[in-house]
Structures are given as C-alpha cells and as structure tokens.
Copies of this chain bind each other. A is one copy, B any other.
Amino acid sequence: MKLISYIQEKREIINLYLKNNLPSEKTEPVEIHQSIRYSVLNGGKRLRPILTMMTAELLGFSHEKVLPAAAGIELIHTFSLIHDDLPCMDNDDYRRGKLTNHKVYGEALATLAGDALLIMGINFICNNSKVKGISKESVLDALQYVLSKIGTEKMLGGQVDDINLQKKQANQEKIKKIYSNKTSALICASLNTASLLLNAKKDQFNALEKYGENIGMAFQITDDLLDIQQDNREENKSTYIKLFGIQESKKEALDYCERAKDNILLFGDKSALFIELADYIINRTY
C-alpha cells in the first residue's frame, strides 16, 4: 500500500524534526523539558502533521515548506492531551500504553508542560516564516486560522462541553458538535495551515475544510470503537457509542468517510492519497 509507506516516511521526518527542535533534556529547568519530551516523543501517530505535509504536496510543494508549522500543530495537539488527562479533567493514568504526564511528573509540572507546549507550538508555526518562499503575512494568516480552531469557539469549547456532558443530558446532535469541535477542528487546521502558508485557492481551502471535518468525525468515532475492542465494559463505552450503538456508529464512521472522499474530488487524480487515507482512518486497528 502506497499510503502506509508514505505515512511511515513522513512520520519519521516529523519525529526527527521534533526530536531536534524541542529543547533538550539538559536545558534548564530540566524537569519541564524532560516532561515535554516524554509526552511529545512517545510514539504518537502524527496524523495531524502528516496531513499538513500531505496538503503541501497536494498543492504541488515540498513538505519542507510547511514542516515547522506541521510540528507546531503536533505540539498543540500534545498540549491538549496533557491537560485533558489531568485529574481535574478526564483523570487518565495511561495514554498510548504509558503513564500520563502528570502520573510521572506531577500535576503542577504537567499543567506547566501543557502551557509550554501551546506556546512552543505557536512559536514553531511562527518559525515557518524562516522557510524560503513563505511570507510573514501568510504565516500570520495561518496562525490566526489555527488560533480560531483551538480556542473556546472550537477545540477548547468542545472540551468544556465534554466536561458538562457528565452533568447534563447528552443527545446525538450535541455529541456530534462536541466531536466536531474537539477533533475535527484541529484536523482542519492541520490541512489548511498548509493551504494558507502556500496561498491555495479559496475553493481548494473550502474542499479541504469539508474533508477535514468529515475525516475528523470518522477518526474520533473509530477511536471510540477501537476503545471498546480493547475494553469491553459497558461503563467505559463513550457517550457517542452509548447514544448511537455499535452498528450505527460504524455506519456513521463509514458515511463520514464517504463524504470526505466526495469533498476531495476537486483535486482529481492528485487526491488518491487523501482517498486512501479516509479509508485507512476507519479501517485502522490502533
């Protein structure tokens, strides 16, 4: 499969970039930099930065044109995971089979590591202006677009609504909105950061926006379905699966996947990898 080797190749590129561009474990104060590297360099899928690089290539450019911003989005993603895992939030002890940041470094350092990763992530995006051919204007546009996807109107707002779900009655419409905000928003940002840095046309931007919305939903529902396979207890089912049931959730993921493939038709033959990716997202086993 062309996609799998493509993903592996790009994952290595992003992993190397992160390893080389994060402060070392010896940089003072050492504790926070160790904590940051622990959470960032822990074998994540790197879906988001890979999407940024895929978009650059879709638009006819090298992935190198958007590499700093791609890495920045992965740092922002890691910030949201560390804070999400905190005892006052989801109170998770494990992530990707390893102890969560606060279980290793304590709550105070985990809170500050999340804050630091948000700041670093934004700084990485700013640093994309050092890439030849990328203007400071387009970097500022891309950054403001990313900010609009991660603030209280989207990603953080989704997290607030998610916390409140435990208090309030959930319904199908509400849970879809939460997934759109919590997951699809940053997926869209991953794609279209490249569009803004590389001055894509408006219809290209819009097509990618719809594609990102739909693969984000498919990705999150598939995540929930995979969780059930690993842990069959009824009480650990996500709210989404509880509301829709397993069969209907699978159908929903498939529908989102098919819609995503339609969204990307605009790019013709060049979109082959994006179509393969949409299928991969719902068929993956981890």
Residues on A lying within 8 angstroms of B by beta carbon are: 23, 27-29, 31-33, 36, 79, 83, 86, 88-89, 106-109, 111-112, 114-116, 118-120, 122-123, 126-127, 129, 136-137, 139-140, 143-144, 147-148, 150-152, 156-157, 159-161, 163-164
Question: Which residues of chain B come closer than 8 Å to A27, judged between CB atoms?
Answer: 152
Query: Which of B88, B109, B119 is the one whose CB lies under 8 Å from A163?
Result: B109
| With A126-B143, A156-B32 as contacts: A111 and B136 at CB distance below 8 Å | no
The distance from the CB of A247 to the nearest CB of chain B, in whole angstroms, is: 31
Contact indicator B23/A152 (Cβ below 8 Å): yes
| With A89-B108, A157-B32 as contacts: A147 and B122 at CB distance below 8 Å | yes
Question: Which residues of chain B come closer than 8 Å to A108, judged between CB atoms?
Answer: 86, 88-89, 163
Known contacts A31-B164, A32-B152, A115-B156; can you find 14 more A-B pairs with CB under 8 A? A28-B157, A29-B157, A29-B164, A32-B156, A32-B160, A86-B108, A88-B111, A116-B151, A116-B152, A118-B118, A119-B150, A119-B151, A123-B151, A126-B147
Question: Which residues of chain B come closer than 8 Å to A32, judged between CB atoms?
Answer: 152, 156-157, 160
Query: Which of B116, B119, B148, B159 is the one whose CB lies under 8 Å from A112?
Result: B159
Question: Which residues of chain B come closer than 8 Å to A29, judged between CB atoms?
Answer: 152, 157, 160-161, 164
Bound: A107/B89 CA distance, A: 8
**A106 closest partner in B (C-beta):** B88
Bound: A108/B108 CA distance, A: 14
Question: Which residues of chain B come closer than 8 Å to A129, judged between CB atoms?
Answer: 140
The distance from the CB of A73 to the nearest CB of chain B, in whole angstroms, is: 14
Bound: A163/B160 CA distance, A: 28
Contact indicator A111/B140 (Cβ below 8 Å): no
**A23 closest partner in B (C-beta):** B152
Query: Which of B36, B86, B118, B122 is the one whose CB lies under 8 Å from A111?
Result: B86
The distance from the CB of A182 to the nearest CB of chain B, in whole angstroms, is: 12
The distance from the CB of A193 to the nearest CB of chain B, in whole angstroms, is: 14
Can you identify 19 A-B contacts, CB atoms within 8 angstroms?
A: A23-B152, A32-B152, A32-B156, A33-B152, A86-B108, A88-B108, A89-B108, A89-B111, A115-B118, A115-B156, A116-B152, A116-B156, A118-B118, A119-B150, A120-B151, A122-B147, A126-B140, A136-B136, A136-B137
